[in-house]
Amino acid sequence: MANKTSDAVALQRRRPTSDQLRRELARMQKKRGLPTALRVILFLIIVILVAAVTFFCLLSGYIIYGSSMSPTLEEKDVVLAIPKAALQDGDLAAFRHEDRILIKRVIAGPGDQVEVLSDGHVRLNGYDLFEPYALYSESGTNDMSYPLDIPEHAWFVLGDNRGSSVDSRSSILGLIGDEQMLGKVFVKIWPLTRFELYDPNFFSELIATLRPS
């Protein structure tokens, strides 16, 4: 009888207290939770990387050469464009001319009437165009006949730096056809100190370009 009593007392002494049980349970949960947290973080990283790669594969990147778009775009700036995005007056557009890729500002589109004055200012559909981005100059090639009516599937483009830009004012370049257009520039990503978003609706426009026509 005494032995049984002593055994019961010893067994009771070996039983963990409620605090010990709670600490052990918390330790086990933490041990199991760490790999779960790592898996979640790893999954999020993979999702972000896939999204970033997909995003940039859908866009076109261009490096700026020359000063024809100064001060908006300077030498060695890097911009991203949405291919086949709808264009309108004021947009920056990348297009192909012969064996070169150029970036200019869309001034007039199909159905518009445009006139470029000798000082570089523009008259669009009978109204003087307000262009705070432009550097006006009386220099630069301007041998087109005005007023100029823009036909279907054609665009009239100008550089922001009117004194050093060869653009639609010149018969060397002339009007830009739809088949030459490569995309709509919506953001400048480099240098970071000059990051600038030109179109806040680019996400919806990017999605629109992915929809089957």
CATH code where residue 109 lies = 2.10.109.10
Looking at the fold, whether 29 and 101 belong to one and the same domain comes out as no
Count other Cβ atoms within 10 Å, centred on residue 93: 21
Domain boundary residue, one of 40, 56, 72: 56
Domain boundary residue, one of 41, 56, 71: 56
Look at residue 75 in the predicted model and tell me its pLDDT: 94
Looking at the fold, whether 41 and 69 belong to one and the same domain comes out as no
Looking at the fold, whether 51 and 138 belong to one and the same domain comes out as no
Looking at the fold, whether 124 and 184 belong to one and the same domain comes out as yes
Which residues constitute the domain of residue 31? 2-56
Looking at the fold, whether 51 and 66 belong to one and the same domain comes out as no
Looking at the fold, whether 89 and 8 belong to one and the same domain comes out as no
How many residues in total does the chain contain?
213
Into how many domains does the chain fold?
A: 2
Report pTM.
Answer: 0.72
Look at residue 46 in the predicted model and tell me its pLDDT: 76
Look at residue 172 in the predicted model and tell me its pLDDT: 92
Which residues, 6+ apart, have CB-to-CB distance to 135 below 8 Å? 70, 71, 160, 161, 162, 163
Looking at the fold, whether 206 and 149 belong to one and the same domain comes out as yes
Which among 144, 72, 63 has a CA at the least distance from the CA of 108?
A: 144
- Please list the pLDDT of the chain residue by residue as tens digits (213 residues): 545 444 444 444 556 666 666 676 666 655 555 566 677 787 788 777 765 655 566 778 899 999 999 999 999 999 999 888 889 999 999 999 998 999 999 999 999 999 999 888 999 999 999 999 999 888 778 889 999 999 999 999 999 999 999 999 999 999 999 999 999 999 898 998 999 988 777 666 666 665 555
Looking at the fold, whether 83 and 174 belong to one and the same domain comes out as yes
Looking at the fold, whether 115 and 189 belong to one and the same domain comes out as yes
Looking at the fold, whether 14 and 32 belong to one and the same domain comes out as yes
Looking at the fold, whether 36 and 101 belong to one and the same domain comes out as no
Looking at the fold, whether 94 and 192 belong to one and the same domain comes out as yes
Dihedral (Cα; 212, 201, 159, 106), 10-degree rounding: 50
